[in-house]
Structure 1
Amino acid sequence: MNTRQETAGILSAHPVSPEVRTRVLAELDDIEKRHDVRILFACESGSRGWGFASPDSDYDVRFLYVHKLDWYLRVEAERDVIEVPIDNALDISGWELRKSLQLLRRSNPTLFEWLDSPIVYRENAAVAHHLRALAPGFFSERKSRWHYLSMAKRNFRGYLQGETVRHKKYLYVLRPLLAAQWVDAGRGMPPMRFAELADVMVADPDLRDEINALLAVKMAAGEAEHGLRYPLIHAFIERELSVEQPPGEFRQAAGDDVTLDDFLKETILSARGA
Structure 2
Amino acid sequence: MTLLFAHPIDPDVRKRIEDELLLIEQQHEVRVLFACESGSRGWGFASPDSDYDVRFIYVHKLDWYLRVEPQRDVIELPINDELDISGWELRKTLQLLHRSNPTLQEWLSSPVVYRQHAMHTQTLRTLAHEFFFLLRGRHHYLAMAHKNFRGYLQDEVVRYKKYLYVLRPLLAVKWIDAGLGVPPMRFADLAAATLTDSALLAEINALLAVKMRAGEADTGPRWPLIHAFIEQELAISERDTDYKKPSGNDQALDAFLQRVILGSPTD
For the aligned pair, the TM-score class normalised by the smaller chain equals over 0.9
Is the aligned partner of 1:122 residue 2:120? no
The Cα shift of 1:247 comes to 7.9
1:28 maps to amino acid:
L
Unmatched runs of 5 consecutive residues or more in structure 2: none
Alpha carbons of 1:31 and 1:249: their partners in 2 closer, same or farther (altered >3 Å)? closer
CA distance in 2, matches of 1:68, 1:183: 38
Partner residue, 2:18:
25
Residue number in structure 2 paired with 1:241: 234
Deviations 1:94-137 (A, max 9, x none): 00000000000000000000000000001100000111111111
Q: Does 1:84 align with 2:96?
A: no
Deviation at 1:245, TM superposition (A): 3.1
Q: Taking structure 1 as reference, are residues 119 and 88 closer, same or farther at Cα in structure 2, changes over 3 Å only?
A: same
Corresponding residue of 1:5: none
Q: Does 1:37 align with 2:30?
A: yes
CA distance in 2, matches of 1:126, 1:145: 29
Contact 2:56–2:86 under 8 Å retained in 1 = yes
User: How many residues are paired up?
Assistant: 266
Name the residue aligned to 2:2.
9
Name which of 58, 61, 68 aligns with 2:61: 68
Tell me whether 1:173 sits opposite 2:160 in the alignment.
no
- Percent identical among aligned pairs is 64
Per-residue CA distance 1:19-73 (angstroms, 9 max, x = gap): 1110000000000001010000000001000000000000000000000000001
Cα separation, 1, equivalents of 2:38 and 2:247? 27
Query: How far apart, in 2, do the equivalents of 1:71 and 1:272 lie?
Result: 15
| Contact 1:69–1:273 (8 Å) recurs in 2 | no
Contact 1:45 1:117 in 2 (8 A): yes
**Distance change in 2, residues 1:271/1:230 (3 Å):** farther
C-alpha contact (below 8 Å) 1:38/1:65 kept by paired residues? yes
Structure 1: 5+ residue runs without aligned partners?
1-7
Q: CA deviation at 1:244?
A: 1.7
1:182-197 equivalences in 2 (<5 Å): 182-197=175-190
Distance in 1 between the 2:119 and 2:172 partners?
Answer: 28
143, 148, 153: which one pairs with 2:146? 153
Distance in 1 of aligned mates of 2:65 and 2:98: 19
Distance in 2 between residues matched to 1:108 and 1:16, nearest whole Å:
26
Does residue 230 of structure 1 match 2:202? Answer: no
**Are the equivalent residues in 1 in contact too, given 2:139–2:240 (CA < 8 A)?**
no
TM-score, scaled relative to structure 2: 0.96
User: How far did residue 243 of structure 1 move?
Assistant: 1.6
Among 81, 85, 89, which residue is 1:96 paired with?
89
- Quick one: which of 31, 43, 46 aligns to 2:39? 46
Tell me which amino acid in the other structure corresponds to 2:123: H
- TM (norm. structure 1) is 0.94
Q: Secondary structure of the equivalent of 1:95?
A: strand
